[in-house]
Copies of this chain bind each other. A is one copy, B any other.
């Protein structure tokens, strides 16, 4: 068994409103910064033991499907590396 770190990045689907990002963008503009756009994503770094990177990725994908991401509004991707 090897220890892997699976990084699950969860972002809102294109077209889903993101009031938190919009508020952050406006706050930066009030501070005098100029920016075109701001997107907010969440990342979960999961350390887990698995037989191979493929198995680790499968399990992290299942975690995303079942809990970490909401398929109605989120896209996600999973990247696995040896810890």
Contact = CB atoms under 8 A, between A and B. Distances in A.
A13 interface: no
A33 B59 contact: yes
**How many chain copies?**
2
A70 interface: no
How many interface residues does chain A have, given as a range?
Answer: 20 to 34
A31 B43 CA distance: 20
Contact of A31 (B24, B44, B67): B67
Contact of A47 (B38, B41, B49): B38
Given A24-B67, A42-B42, A48 B34 contact: yes
Interface of A: 3, 9, 21, 24, 27-28, 31, 33-49, 59, 62-63, 66-68
